[in-house]
């Protein structure tokens, strides 16, 4: 008889769990599209093939809002859709060559790591106040810039040239994006329920 009583509760738990998973999966897909939309916001810079974009802002916010697992999944969905040819990368670019063989590929490929790190820190309470939330996103930004720098170094054949063209020009814009993301975070929590 105990088995009969526990089966309906187990079934109910499974249904609730499946609904929560479906909801999170839907959020991950929506956030992948938000990253794609943010990628279209570009500000070209003189002397570097890498423009300032809204991607890193969206990636870091995705990680901190959805957490390590779902934030990383959202970014992987974004990269997969862009890699398959949808116009999801900056300026409407898409395709595997842009994802894996462009001078900016290091930035793109670092996005899951950055979202995962900020999500992991958020799950440990770093998203609870403005300064710690900004610190989490700054660490994620360093991951993006560091990976982009290494990739660009290989493309240009020089660590110094890659730093001057792929990191230094982005320190101030990234600080501005992180501050803006920190200000948006309380509003975003109202729209995206915590896990």
SS (H, E, C) 109-171: HHHHHHHHHHHHHHHCCHHHCHHHHHHHHHHHHHHHHHHHHHHHHHHHCCHHHHHHHHCHHHH
- Find the helix or strand (DSSP H, E) in which 43 lies: strand 42-43
Report the pLDDT value the prediction gives residue 73, as an integer from 0 to 100.
96
Report the pLDDT value the prediction gives residue 51, as an integer from 0 to 100.
82
Contact 68, 119 (CB under 8 A): yes
Report the pLDDT value the prediction gives residue 44, as an integer from 0 to 100.
85
pTM of the model: 0.84
Report the pLDDT value the prediction gives residue 135, as an integer from 0 to 100.
94
159: Cα within 13 Å, side-chain hemisphere: 2
Q: Is 53 helix (H, G, I), strand (E, B) or coil?
A: strand
At 37-80, the pLDDT tens digits run 999 998 888 877 678 899 999 999 999 999 999 999 999 999 99
List domains and CATH numbers for the chain.
27-191 (1.10.1760.20)
**Positions of the chain with pLDDT lower than 70, given as ranges:** 1-20, 49, 193-195
Contact 115, 140 (CB under 8 A): yes
Report the pLDDT value the prediction gives residue 194, as an integer from 0 to 100.
61
């Amino acid at each position: 008889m105990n088995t009969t009583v526990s089966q309906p509760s187990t079934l109910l738990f499974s249904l609730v769990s499946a609904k929560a998973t479906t909801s999170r999966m839907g959020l991950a897909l929506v956030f992948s599209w938000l990253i794609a939309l943010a990628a279209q916001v570009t500000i070209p810079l003189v002397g570097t093939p890498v423009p300032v974009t809204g991607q890193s802002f969206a990636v870091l916010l995705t990680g901190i809002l959805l957490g390590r697992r779902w934030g990383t999944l959202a970014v992987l969905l974004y990269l997969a859709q862009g890699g398959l040819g949808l116009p999801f990368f900056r300026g409407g670019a898409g395709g595997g060559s842009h994802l894996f063989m462009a001078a900016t590929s290091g930035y793109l490929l670092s996005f899951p790591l950055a979202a995962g790190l900020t999500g992991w820190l958020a799950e440990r309470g770093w998203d609870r106040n403005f300064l710690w939330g900004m610190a989490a996103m700054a660490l994620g930004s360093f991951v993006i810039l560091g990976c982009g720098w290494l990739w660009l170094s290989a493309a240009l054949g020089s660590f110094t040239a890659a730093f001057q063209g792929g990191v230094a020009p982005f320190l101030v814009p990234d600080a501005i994006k992180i501050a803006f993301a920190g200000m948006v975070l309380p509003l975003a929590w109202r729209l995206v329920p915590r896990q």
